[in-house]
Amino acid sequence: MIYLHLFFEFFKIGIFSFGGGYATIPFLYSLSERYGWFSSADIVNMLAISQSTPGPIGINMATFAGFKTAGFLGSTVATFGIILPSVFVICVFARFLNKFQDKPSVKITLWGLRPAACAMIAYAMIKVFEVSIFSLDKFHLSGRLLDLFNFHAILLLIILVILNKKYRLNYAFQLIIAGGLGVLLM
Amino acid sequence: MKNRLRDTVELFGVFFIIGLLNFGGGYSVLPFFKQEAVEKRKWIKNEELLDYFVISQCLPGVIAVNAATLVGYRVQRSLGAVFSTLGIILPAFISILLVAILFMNFMHLKIVHDILLGINVAVLLMIFEAVLNFAKKGIVDKASFTIFALAFIACFFVSPAIIIFSAGLFGFAVKKIRGEVQ
């Protein structure tokens, strides 16, 4: 039964992948080695596609791998497999959290965690910075300092900042404008 | 009963849209949560949102989905949790199927690349706002700034789980030394 098999493998990934989408990648490599459901080249393609389609990478990977292996039903089964453990864990955990949120020890722990979370968001920002404002590939090829920056992207950033200051745009609207400007400017 | 149904539908709708707008996952989804769940609908407070993301990171699974499940649980218990989760994964599910079935060949076109680059720049701006916003809530004194700085450097070298764990311990130790813990 390929569907049951898919479900259990992604269920396992759902249980053991802490820390988001990228944590699933090593698991996918091991799946590809053990079952040959998809190749390692497929995994790289999946990553590229995941980054340019809506949704968290972990879910994207499960859907794509499931589809590749066993069609529509396969993708459904794999996606449910990967989210089910966390939904269950969170429903149990949330009850506990809501009850103890105001306990001093929980408050103190969260006090220490908040700045760490800020740091992680800042780190995520640096990552997005790397792929948008810098053009590292081009720089590595030519070695010229001018090629390090993507000036079109910087111009786009400036325009967005100005628009934002003036009109206070809704996020969805900002994304649409940014996509359009991307086509116009690049 | 009617309220419960309305809330559940609203949760599903809000997270469906967040799922649709989110490219890349992880913390990049945070600004959208802030806009919808904190500012517009007042389901949770700003610092609670930050807590939820930290907790999501420590629990198994995908961060953005975990955070949606937590918010959903907060608003309408298990029912809310399930529908928020479905809402945030459905756009991902549909779009990947479409890509897999139809659009594989379009991904290499220049126009697709340009649109995505534009979107990345906008996301950059949003995350920047989120960092500023949360820094105000999370970085309140020298000790918390130290945690921030150390954690930021650590992000480049070690796994997030280790950072979260050490930050929790460190925070606890600081409060203990200051005598704020019994």
Residues A29-85 pLDDT 10s:
888 888 888 887 777 777 767 766 777 777 888 898 898 888 899 999 999 999 999
pLDDT at position B6, please?
93
CB-based contact B41:B14 (threshold 8 Å): yes
- Predicted ipTM > 0.90: no
Give the closest of A17, A82, A160 to B122, CB-based: A160
CB-CB under 8 Å, B138 with A114: yes
Name every chain A residue with its beta carbon within 8 A of the beta carbon of B115: 179-180, 182-183
Question: How far is the alpha carbon of A164 from chain B, nearest alpha carbon, in Å?
Answer: 10
Q: Pick from A67-81, A88-102, B55-69 the range whose average pLDDT is largest.
A: A67-81
Q: Cα torsion for B66, B70, B72, B75, to the nearest 10°?
A: -170
For testing contact with chain B, the best of A52, A96, A127 (most B CBs within 10 A)? A52
pLDDT at position A75, please?
94
Largest CA distance in chain A: 58
Lookup result for tokens 């992680």: A120
Give the closest of B21, B92, B161 to A63, CB-based: B92
CB-CB under 8 Å, A109 with B168: yes
CB-CB under 8 Å, B160 with A183: no
Q: Please indicate, yes or no, if residue B60 is contained in any of the structural domains.
A: yes
- Residues A153-183 have pLDDT tens digits of 999 999 999 998 898 777 778 888 988 999 9
Q: How many domains does chain B have?
A: 1
pLDDT at position A24, please?
73
Question: How far is the alpha carbon of B4 from chain A, nearest alpha carbon, in Å?
Answer: 17
Q: Please indicate, yes or no, if residue B152 is contained in any of the structural domains.
A: no
C-alpha pair distances (Å), B42 with each of A97, B6, B76, B83: 19, 16, 14, 18
pLDDT at position A22, please?
61
pLDDT at position B182, please?
58
Average predicted confidence (pLDDT) for chain B = 86
Name every chain B residue with its beta carbon within 8 A of the beta carbon of A93: 55, 59
Q: Please indicate, yes or no, if residue B65 is contained in any of the structural domains.
A: yes
CB-CB under 8 Å, A128 with B127: yes
Average predicted confidence (pLDDT) for chain A = 83
Nearest CA in chain B to A10: B61
pLDDT at position B146, please?
93
Question: How far is the alpha carbon of A104 from chain B, nearest alpha carbon, in Å?
Answer: 8
Give the closest of A67, A113, A170 to B97, CB-based: A67
Q: Please indicate, yes or no, if residue B113 is contained in any of the structural domains.
A: no
pLDDT at position B57, please?
79
More confident residue, A48 or B133: B133
Q: How confident is the model at residue B43 (pLDDT cuts 50, 70, 90)?
A: very high
pLDDT at position A80, please?
94
- Residues B69-84 have pLDDT tens digits of 999 999 999 999 999 9
Once rounded to an integer, what is the mean pLDDT over residues B97-105?
A: 73
Q: Please indicate, yes or no, if residue B13 is contained in any of the structural domains.
A: yes
pLDDT at position A148, please?
83
More confident residue, B82 or B61: B82
- What domain range is B40 assigned to? 2-103
Question: How far is the alpha carbon of A34 from chain B, nearest alpha carbon, in Å?
Answer: 22
pLDDT at position A109, please?
80
Q: Which helix (H) or strand (E) holds A88?
A: helix A57-100
Q: Any idea how long chain B is?
A: 182
Q: How confident is the model at residue B25 (pLDDT cuts 50, 70, 90)?
A: low
Q: How confident is the model at residue A98 (pLDDT cuts 50, 70, 90)?
A: confident
pLDDT at position B104, please?
59
CB-based contact B116:A53 (threshold 8 Å): no
Once rounded to an integer, what is the mean pLDDT over residues B117-143?
A: 85
The percent of residues above 90 in pLDDT, for chain A, comes to: 19
Q: Please indicate, yes or no, if residue B153 is contained in any of the structural domains.
A: no
Q: How confident is the model at residue A94 (pLDDT cuts 50, 70, 90)?
A: confident
CB-CB under 8 Å, A55 with B61: no
